[in-house]
């Protein structure tokens, strides 16, 4: 058994290393796949989660070229100053700091040259190989092609900055009531398919500073609003995209990895959350099956329900300081995977958004009560189910 486990771990590590060598499309695809513990074995996910997204910066010459090509502008027409050394360098884009000619400090996100074409071609190749993937041990019978199509659509949204700009506008409007949450305003005249110019937020690295608790609560409430009320969720709120400020505000950036939750899915997620909090395991099991993208016809439902009930009972009985979103989520995904149940991307990403957020939250406030903070948003989501049902059928 140990020999088989070691072999599986070596194979998973090799997969991650291969994806890293193949380039940005495969790194991003691996990162997205790494969120799907309901779909892939733990050995694979652990190594995919470690995929690095920090690369050598693109040549700075691409920046003036893109401003000329897509906006018809020279850098001197736009900036009083633009630092040629990026503050971030990832597989899709680099980010630079600068000052506009009117004195406004800005951040400029610049897509790497040729990355969009490479992504399109790579995704075509990956999709054409899907039948091979579908035949791999552990994936037989699963909806591999639909899953790859969803992953591909997610990746394509990240390489077209016009879509990220739309997401930015939606989130700014959605969080307008959350006055303690900052979302950078775009400078629309300097944005395009490959360029995003936005106000420079006063970001700070909080580390394990407990004084940032007010900012953390503001961010969590904003996340719950996105999940339960708006249906448009930032799925990547880790420490590089979410900043907890010393004045009690939170700043969110990078809206490329978003999930859309239809009205019916929001209602089901609210019901699932309420059932989990009230130790209603049978209801959680039923919602898990009802919202799944794939359920094997031979599912032994009684055994499946018993495992979900045990998982929910442990979560409901845990003290606040002992409750772990990660333990519950990973436990649920493990049950789903063993029973070959594949969740929809929307439902899974809503759960994953909380999982990612907890990684930051536990550093700042280990006793944070995720359930209590969710209650007002869950109740608002459930208050008018007729409206949600009408929206779902509209």
Last residue of a domain, one of 94, 124, 158: 158
Q: What is the pLDDT of residues 226-250, one digit of tens each?
A: 999 999 999 888 777 899 999 999 9
Contacts of 56 (CB under 8 A, 6+ apart): 89
pLDDT at 1 over 50: no
Residue 75 in domain = no
Sheet order of strands, 242-244 included: 181-182, 250-252, 242-244
CA distance 126 to 360: 33
Q: Are 133 and 241 within one domain?
A: no
pLDDT at 211 over 70: yes
pLDDT at 281 over 50: yes
Round the average pLDDT of the chain to a whole number and report it.
83
Last residue of a domain, one of 126, 158, 190: 158
Q: Considering Cα of 132, then 135, then 138, then 140, what sign does the dihedral take?
A: positive
Q: How many CB atoms lie within 10 A of CB 135?
A: 10
Separation in Å, CA 326 to CA 337, 343, 359: 16, 17, 8
Give mean pLDDT, residues 136-140. Answer: 55
Top-confidence residue, 196 or 19:
196
Q: Are 240 and 374 within one domain?
A: yes
Q: How confident is the model at residue 3 (pLDDT cuts 50, 70, 90)?
A: low
pLDDT at 339 over 60: yes
Q: Are 379 and 278 in contact (CB under 8 A)?
A: no
Top-confidence residue, 5 or 66:
66
Q: Are 235 and 343 within one domain?
A: yes
pLDDT at 139 over 70: no
Last residue of a domain, one of 92, 125, 158: 158
Q: Are 130 and 268 within one domain?
A: no
- Percent of the chain at pLDDT above 70? 77
In this structure, of 97-106, 155-164, 187-196, the range with the lowest mean pLDDT score is: 155-164
Top-confidence residue, 111 or 153:
111
The pLDDT of residue 261 is 87
Q: What is the pLDDT of residues 27-62, one digit of tens each?
A: 666 666 665 555 566 667 666 666 555 567 889 999
Q: Are 143 and 213 within one domain?
A: no
CA distance 222 to 171: 10
Q: Are 118 and 215 within one domain?
A: no
Residue 387 in domain = yes
Q: Are 269 and 126 within one domain?
A: no
Structure tokens at 359: 């990684």
Give mean pLDDT, residues 150-159. Answer: 76
Q: Are 269 and 327 within one domain?
A: yes
Top-confidence residue, 318 or 394:
318
Q: How confident is the model at residue 11 (pLDDT cuts 50, 70, 90)?
A: low
Residue 175 in domain = no
Residue 317 in domain = yes
Contacts of 269 (CB under 8 A, 6+ apart): 227, 228, 261, 347, 350
pLDDT at 370 over 90: no
In this structure, of 240-244, 343-347, 368-372, 377-381, the range with the lowest mean pLDDT score is: 343-347
Top-confidence residue, 195 or 329:
195
Give mean pLDDT, residues 363-373. Answer: 83
- Could you give the number of structural domains in the chain? 2
CA distance 257 to 182: 18
The pLDDT of residue 293 is 86
Domain encompassing residue 28: 2-53+114-158
Top-confidence residue, 316 or 197:
197
The pLDDT of residue 233 is 92
Give mean pLDDT, residues 261-269. Answer: 88
Residue 381 in domain = yes
Name the pTM for this structure. Answer: 0.80
Q: How confident is the model at residue 113 (pLDDT cuts 50, 70, 90)?
A: confident
Q: Are 222 and 150 within one domain?
A: no
């Amino acid at each position: 058994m140990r020999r088989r486990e070691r072999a599986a771990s070596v194979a998973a590590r090799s997969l991650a290393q291969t994806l890293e060598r193949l380039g940005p499309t495969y790194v991003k695809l691996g990162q997205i796949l790494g969120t799907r513990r309901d779909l892939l074995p733990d050995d694979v996910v652990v190594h995919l989660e470690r995929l690095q997204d920090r690369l050598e910066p693109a040549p700075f010459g691409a920046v003036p070229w893109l401003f000329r090509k897509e906006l018809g502008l020279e850098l001197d027409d736009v900036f009083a100053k633009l630092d040629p050394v990026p503050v971030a360098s990832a597989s899709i884009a680099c980010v630079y700091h600068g000052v506009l000619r009117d004195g406004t400090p800005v951040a400029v996100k610049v897509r790497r040259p040729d990355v969009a074409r490479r992504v399109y071609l790579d995704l075509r190749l990956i999709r054409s190989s899907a039948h091979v993937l579908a035949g791999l041990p552990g994936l037989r019978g699963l909806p591999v092609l639909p899953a790859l199509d969803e992953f591909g659509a997610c990746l394509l949204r990240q390489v077209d900055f016009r879509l990220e700009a739309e997401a930015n506008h939606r989130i700014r409007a959605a969080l307008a009531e959350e006055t303690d949450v900052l979302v950078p305003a775009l400078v629309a005249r300097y944005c395009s398919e490959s360029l995003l110019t936005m106000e420079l937020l006063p970001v700070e690295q909080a580390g394990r500073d407990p004084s940032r608790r007010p900012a953390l609560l503001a961010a969590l409430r904003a996340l719950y609003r996105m999940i339960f009320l708006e249906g448009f969720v930032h799925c990547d709120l880790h420490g590089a995209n979410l900043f907890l400020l010393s004045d009690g505000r939170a700043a969110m950036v990078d809206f490329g990895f978003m999930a859309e939750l239809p009205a019916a899915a929001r209602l089901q997620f609210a019901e699932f959350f309420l059932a989990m909090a009230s130790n209603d395991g049978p209801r959680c099991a039923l919602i898990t099956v009802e919202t799944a993208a794939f359920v094997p016809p031979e599912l032994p439902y009684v055994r499946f329900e018993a495992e979900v009930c045990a998982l929910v009972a442990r979560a409901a009985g845990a003290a606040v300081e002992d409750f772990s979103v990660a333990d519950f989520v990973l436990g649920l995904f493990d049950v789903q995977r063993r029973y070959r149940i594949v969740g929809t991307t929307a439902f899974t990403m809503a759960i994953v958004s909380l999982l990612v957020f907890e990684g930051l939250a536990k550093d700042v406030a280990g006793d944070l009560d995720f359930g209590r903070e969710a209650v007002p948003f869950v109740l608002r989501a459930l208050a008018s189910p007729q409206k949600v049902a009408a929206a779902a059928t509209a």
